[in-house]
Structure 1
Amino acid sequence: MTVQVRFLPNDVTVAAEVGEPLLQVADRAGLTIPTGCLMGSCYACEVELEDGETLRACISSVPPGRSEMTISLFVDPTW
């Protein structure tokens, strides 16, 4: 199943498959999500969904059950 993933503030949308890693989706969209540990414990890759839920992109993938999702990228200046 294809999900339309929209990245803010860049307003870039890319088609992704359910289960595709978020870091890979962002890379295909030409965007970089900062990473640190790649295990989710440092929170460098934290992104926010449209409903306010936060995810650690390095350990998250495109979820099932939706046709589109919006991800807000924010950067921690310490990374």
Structure 2
Amino acid sequence: MTISVRFLPDDITVDAKVGEPLLEVAERAGVFIPTGCLMGSCHACTVELGNGDVIRACISSILPGRTEMTINLYSDPTW
């Protein structure tokens, strides 16, 4: 199953497969999501879903049960 993933604020959309790692989807779209530990504990890769849920991109994948997904990228000058 393919899901349309939209990255904001740049409004870049790319198709992704259920279960595909979110960082790989972002890379393929040319979207930079900073990473640190790659285990979710440093919070460098924190993003917000369109519904307001906050996730760590490094440990997240494309979830089933939806046709589209919106990712709001944070801007943290530390990373």
TM-score range with shorter-chain normalisation?
over 0.9
The aligned residue for residue 52 of structure 1 is 52
Q: Is the 8 A contact 1:43 1:56 kept in 2?
A: yes
Q: Output the CA distance in 1 between the equivalents of 2:61 and 2:75.
A: 19
TM-score, with normalisation over the residues of structure 2?
Answer: 0.97
The offset of 1:20, in angstroms, is 0.3
Q: Which runs of 4+ in 1 moved over 2 A?
A: none
Count of residues in Structure 1 that have an aligned counterpart in Structure 2: 79
Structure 1, unmatched stretches of 5+, are none
Identical aligned pairs, as a percentage? 71
5+ residue gaps in structure 2?
none
Aligned residues: CA RMSD: 0.6
SS in 2 for 1:27: helix
TM-score (norm 1): 0.97
